[in-house]
Amino acid sequence: MSNSNQPECHFSLVLISLLSCTTNQARLTVSPSSSQFFIRDFVSLSCEEDDSSAGWTLRRNTSKQQRTQCGDGWGEAAGSSCNISYIYTSDSGVYWCESREGPISNMVNLTVTGGSVILQSPVLPVMEGDDVTLLCKTKTTPSNLPAAFYKDGSLIRKQPTGHMTIQHVSRSDEGLYKCDISGHGESPSSWITVTVIRLVCHLVVFCPYFISTLLSVSLYQHRANGNDPTVILATAANAEQRMCEDYDDIAAVTSEHQF
């Protein structure tokens, strides 16, 4: 590549990254906020969206169904939410929001157990540096029974009150967690993800003036040079679409290996 093309190439890469962060996407949330549930619990899942015109739909993969949407034999749609009045073990699986344009939200793995113990842990990735509290609870007795907590199969500690707080989590705290209450049983395992905020997304949130100025200067330079100012935007948009398609493929593969 010649030196004359390098500034345009560098700016294209920046713009593509910014577009990938600013694309209107939904965020899937779960209420109650937990990745594990007892049979016949009530669960509400919501697609929190920046742009309602995107047409977000809640879908899931389970051991028996693939890419089915809310209302198609499970759940009851209520606007951008989906309510499951009585959840069962067959509802265990991966849930996500998907728009008619193609992009998808974060994925959430829900586990429904017929046992007597669950581990209430963050259903969404936790931010590095935050405190995280895990709660070991039974279905019919108080939630403050003594419990033992495990990470990746190894005992972390025993807590007399049934809950454990991990202070200032780091990437080393990522892993598979479960708990055990003597005389009641062991919970299923749930993965806890620890994440960091990308610098590019910080720029999108905190520096919109910088972004708009950068765009204006670039478009002005393209016009001054007699170039089509839409070329760089089209290039970025095409790249963004390819990234969305790649993410969709990766997500599909990930879902297929959940069971």
Give pLDDT, residue 224.
Answer: 60
Pick the range with the lowest mean pLDDT from 87-96, 136-145, 219-228. 219-228
pLDDT, average across residues 111-130: 95
Same fold flag, 24-114 and 117-212: yes
* Single-letter amino acid, residue 14: V
d(CA 66, CA 60): 7
Give pLDDT, residue 52.
Answer: 58
User: What average pLDDT is seen over the chain?
Assistant: 78
Are β-strands 126-127 and 194-195 bridged in parallel, bridged antiparallel, or unpaired? parallel
Whether the per-residue pLDDT at 105 is higher than 60: the answer is yes
**Centroid of chain to Cα 246:** 17
d(CA 108, CA 120): 14
pLDDT band for position 101 (cuts 50, 70, 90): confident
Query: Has domain 117-212 been given CATH number 3.40.50.720?
Result: no
Question: What are the E-state strand segments in the chain?
Answer: 26-31, 36-38, 43-49, 57-62, 68-69, 76-78, 81-84, 93-98, 108-113, 117-120, 126-127, 132-138, 147-151, 154-159, 163-166, 175-181, 185-186, 190-192, 194-195
Give pLDDT, residue 87.
Answer: 97
Give pLDDT, residue 49.
Answer: 76
pLDDT band for position 237 (cuts 50, 70, 90): very low
Whether the per-residue pLDDT at 172 is higher than 50: the answer is yes
Fold of the CATH domain 24-114: Immunoglobulin-like (2.60.40)
pLDDT band for position 220 (cuts 50, 70, 90): low
* pLDDT top residue among 107 and 207: 107
Domain extents for the chain?
A: 24-114, 117-212
Question: 0.75 cut: is pTM over it?
Answer: no
Residue linked to tokens 């009851």: 76
d(CA 16, CA 9): 11
